[in-house]
Amino acid sequence: MMREKPIEIFCGTGGVGKTTLSASRAIQLAASGKKVLLITIDPAKRLKEILNMTDEAAGEITTIQSDIFRHQPGNVPYQFDALLMSPEHTLKRMAERNQSFQDFDNRIMKTLVRPYGGMNEIMAIIEVQYQMEQKKYDCIVLDTPPGKHFIDFLLSTQKIKRFFDKTFVEIFKYLGKSVGTQSEAPGMLSILVRTGIKKLLSYLEKVTGAQFVNDFIDAIVGLYRNRDSFLKAMAFQEELQKEEVSNWFLVTSVEQMKQSEARELREEAVRFMHNDNYLLINKSISQYLGDWFPQDEYLKKLRHTMLDKENRLKTMQDQSFRSSILFPEVLETSPAEHVGKLATEWSIHFPI
């Protein structure tokens, strides 16, 4: 049995069906009467195609009706909310809450909050934490970035902590910028920092021009003035590590055969996980091979190879996973019908 939790995290390498399975899980939960928010942090935005969403929907919560899914658990209409992560929209809301629009109105900040601009994972942490604080949903299903970007997402809180180290306050004091802190007598660290930052800014100005340096300083100061929003997000990592708060799903695929990559991802993420973590093996075909015993030698070898692939993935369950779940290969005419069919598989394995 698996308990539903306030947050469920789906991770995996690229191309294994992580977004598809997270969407189907949201369907199953919503069909059972839960209030569900499905968030994708993956900049590729595969969720957009699955749920017939547009680029304009990025950053805004969209309500998805059950009638777009042909296969679905139960016969009662349902709905759930979906959100395509947009760092730009998250930053805009932050500026609205803190009345700090002027702090982020420069070209460096606009570049940083673009997809792959460098702040995608950090802004995603802030967004998820914000949605949890609203207490509007029974469950938030999180489709995380693939591979290394998922680890970057988990490490974002550490990056936030390092960025807002007291050393930066000394830098801002040297620059004559107010960051809302009480003045302190300069110490030896302050003197050393001032000497170093003076040389750095002097070099930057020669290479990039004075306007770039001014934009750079304004962007850093703007982030620091809004540090409360960033620091609150640091609680998110602590919440994820509580067994009563989250379920973890590592997705891999028989088709992609990314066993080693999945194992590496599991080893890197293990310090953030707890005992309620599950291995999802996507595109399984073993159930279709049970009654197939070909006489042709080539077909015998083919059957053996396909079953061997799945069995090797199943051995990963012994590596601290609570259980492994096989999701069969699904052939449907549209992505929406595909995830609807997979939602019925969730109901078979974990009825609610």
Domain boundaries, the chain: 7-160+232-284+321-349, 166-227
Asked if 64 and 80 touch (Cβ cutoff 8 Å), the reply is: yes
Give, for 37, the enclosing helix (H) or strand (E): strand 36-40
Residues 58 and 42: their CA atoms lie apart, in Å, by 12
Q: Looking at residue 183, what is its pLDDT? A: 44
| Strand partners of residue 324 | 279
Task: Identify the pLDDT of residue 312.
Answer: 73
Residue-wise pLDDT for 177-195, tens only, equals 554 544 444 443 444 444 5
**pLDDT given at position 331:** 80
Using one digit for the tens of pLDDT, what is the confidence trace for 95-105?
A: 777 777 676 77
Report the C-alpha dihedral over residues 236, 241, 242, 244, rounded to 10 degrees: 90
What integer pLDDT is reported at residue 29 of this predicted model? 94
| Strand order, beta sheet including 36-40 | 62-65, 79-84, 36-40, 139-143, 7-12, 246-253, 277-284, 323-328
Q: In this structure, which CATH number among 3.30.565.10, 3.10.450.40, 3.40.50.300, 3.40.50.1370 belongs to the domain 7-160+232-284+321-349? A: 3.40.50.300
Region for residue 33 given its phi and psi (left: phi exceeds 0; alpha: psi -120 to 50; beta: otherwise): left
Sign (positive/negative) of CA torsion 145, 151, 157, 160? negative
Helix 335-349 vs helix 18-31: angle between axes, to the nearest 10 degrees?
Answer: 60
Q: Where are the alpha helices (DSSP H) in 54-187?
A: 87-98, 107-112, 120-134, 148-154, 156-163, 166-175
Residues (pLDDT < 70) of the chain are: 43-44, 70-75, 101, 103, 113-118, 147-149, 163-214, 255-260, 262, 316-320
Length of the chain: 352
